[in-house]
């Protein structure tokens, strides 16, 4: 299907004009996910997204895994429907936010100082808005993507996807049966190192082991000697785990990133001194540093009910993440660190994901970025967190993180994920619209 160049320019302007408004509108719908199947749920946001798609002739389906836990799936016919389909997925839920900690209300969706502010602005209602803006404009113009696109706007990613991507993969697999590749969060954004802008494309992500540790001892009066105090046993175990120095493991995606980063900084890459390389990376060093090793962070402690009563048990929740290929090592080391009277159980357990930085889809992502920024350097990296790619990769789908944004050099983008004052530049959203529009022609 041919397109008049002038009309294409108009489409960019129209999509760019709409994207910030779409992002603000999504942020204003509170989809806080506390992780315990409470909260407002995603139903209102799902209905909002479905209406935006239906308005331009797309036929969306809302699928509810539990009351208020809703996802939206839709299919866009491509120019060549004999090819395997591409899945584009984003989640609608967000982590909690305390308004008192923010400079602007986290559910205001305010546009201020050139940015859209609010919870979800970078994680990931920005990508949801960019996809909607591009699809809406293309549908109005009758411009089909290169191949069929399956859109999925999902519930529950922030709690592991049990009510969203995992539930869909388990119960509605047919919706994705011809999808061989997928894009979602977190990749395609720029980082500036040594004055040089690089775009990072996510090809790997760590696995998840959210665990509850329980120590058991002997209950008794707080004034008595007690050598079997569960709180003491737990505290010692938590401190030991939290301070453990995990060994460095250099996976291919992280090596490729560090080699390119060191080149941009004009320094030699030394695989025998990785911490030195990481120390030069600025704010993104936290994100990349976490992909050099398995990690565990204690996050929740619970014990006792009265100051003069020694409780019989005490518990702690820990957030463990393991690198692709190192799950077995992770659990062996964790079990060695547990105290003799401490047991572990899963809150949520999911796989690590890794693919290679090659193939036609990679070429399309690189080409779309370079069409907008000629000569742009695009490099792979590993995400320290997790995404819905875990659920879709179980279906045999090759998953990448590609939510393109051109960001100011001084913006601590990675620090805003689950942080305060989350915001995304309006110009970055417009850039993402242009890149995604080109990508749909190339993919």
DSSP string, 297-364: EEEEEEE-SSTTEE-SEEEEEEEEEE-TT-HHHHHHHHHHHS-TTEEEEEEEEE--EE--S-SHHHHH
Report the alpha-carbon distance of residue 67 to residue 30 in Å, rounded: 16
Query: How do residues 79-126 score in pLDDT, each as one tens digit?
Result: 999 999 999 999 999 999 999 999 999 999 999 999 999 999 999 999
Give yes or no for a contact between 321 and 208, defined as CB atoms under 8 angstroms apart. Answer: yes
The closest alpha carbon to 251, from 353, 352, 325, belongs to 325
pLDDT (tens digit per residue) in 360-415: 999 999 999 999 999 899 999 999 989 999 999 999 999 999 999 999 998 988 88
Q: Can you give the pLDDT at residue 391? A: 97
Report residue 349 as tokens.
């357990």
pTM above 0.85, yes or no: yes
User: Looking at 133-244, which runs of residues are DSSP E strands?
Assistant: 149-154, 179-184, 189-193, 196-205, 207-216, 220-221
pLDDT of residue 383: 94
What is d(CA 205, CA 35) in angstroms, rounded to the nearest whole number? 21
Residue 188 CB partners (closer than 8 Å, separation 6+): 199, 200, 201, 365, 369, 401, 402, 403, 404, 405, 432, 435
**Residue 189 near residue 405 (C-beta atoms within 8 A):** yes
User: Predicted confidence band at 264 (pLDDT cuts at 50, 70, 90)?
Assistant: confident
Locate CATH 3.30.70.360 in the chain.
210-245+296-351
**Is 83:59 a contact under the CB 8 Å cutoff?**
no
Contacting residues for 328 by C-beta, under 8 A, at least 6 apart: none
Neighbours of 2 (CB within 10 A): 5
- The percentage of the chain sitting over the pLDDT mark of 70, rounded to a whole number, equals 97
Domain 5-188+353-374+385-442 top-level CATH class: alpha beta
- Token couple for 303: 């014990």
Burial of 176 (0-12, 13-18, 19+ CB in 10 A): buried
- The hierarchical CATH code for the domain 210-245+296-351 is 3.30.70.360
The H-or-E segment that residue 13 falls in is: helix 5-28
| CA distance linking residue 399 with residue 383, whole number of Å | 12
Rounded CA Rg of the chain: 23
């Amino acid at each position: 299907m041919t397109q008049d160049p002038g009309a294409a320019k108009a489409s960019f302007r129209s999509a760019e004009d709409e994207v910030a408004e779409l992002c603000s509108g999504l942020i204003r719908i509170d989809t806080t996910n506390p992780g315990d199947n409470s909260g407002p749920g995603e139903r209102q946001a799902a209905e909002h997204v479905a209406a935006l798609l239906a308005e331009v002739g797309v036929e969306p389906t809302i699928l509810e895994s539990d009351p208020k836990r809703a996802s939206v799936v839709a299919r866009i016919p491509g120019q060549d429907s004999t090819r395997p389909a591409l899945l584009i997925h984003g989640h609608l839920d967000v982590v909690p936010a305390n308004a008192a900690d923010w400079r602007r209300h986290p559910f205001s969706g305010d546009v201020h100082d050139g940015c859209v502010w609010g919870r979800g602005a970078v994680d990931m209602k920005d990508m949801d808005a960019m996809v909607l803006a591009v699809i809406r404009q293309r549908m109005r113009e009758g411009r089909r993507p290169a191949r069929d696109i399956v859109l999925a706007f999902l519930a529950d990613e922030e709690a592991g996807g049990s009510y969203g991507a995992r539930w869909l993969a388990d119960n509605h697999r047919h919706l994705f049966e011809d999808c061989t590749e997928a894009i979602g969060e977190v990749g395609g954004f720029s980082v500036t190192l040594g004055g040089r802008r690089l775009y990072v494309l996510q090809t790997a992500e760590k696995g998840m082991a959210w665990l509850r540790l329980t120590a058991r001892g002997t209950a008794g009066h707080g004034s008595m000697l007690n050598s079997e105090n569960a709180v003491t046993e737990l505290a010692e175990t938590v401190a030991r785990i939290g301070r453990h120095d995990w060994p460095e493991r250099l996976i291919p995606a992280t090596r490729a990133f560090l080699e390119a980063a060191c080149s941009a900084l004009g320094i030699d890459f030394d695989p025998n001194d990785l911490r030195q390389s990481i120390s030069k990376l600025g704010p993104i060093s936290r994100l990349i540093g976490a992909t050099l090793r398995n990690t565990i962070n204690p996050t929740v402690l619970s014990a006792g009910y009265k100051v003069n009563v020694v409780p019989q048990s005490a518990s702690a929740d820990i957030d463990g993440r393991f690198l692709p290929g190192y799950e077995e090592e992770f659990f062996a080391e964790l079990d060695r660190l547990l105290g003799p009277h401490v047991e572990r159980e899963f809150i949520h357990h999911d796989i690590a994901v890794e693919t290679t930085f090659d193939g036609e889809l990679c070429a399309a992502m690189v080409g779309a970025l370079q069409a907008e920024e000629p000569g742009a350097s695009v490099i792979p990296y590993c995400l320290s967190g997790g995404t819905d790619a875990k659920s879709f990769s179980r279906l045999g789908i090759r998953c990448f993180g590609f939510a393109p944004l051109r960001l100011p050099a001084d913006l601590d983008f990675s620090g805003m994920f689950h942080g305060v004052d989350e915001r995304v530049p309006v110009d970055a959203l417009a850039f993402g619209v242009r890149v995604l529009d080109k990508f749909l022609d190339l993919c």
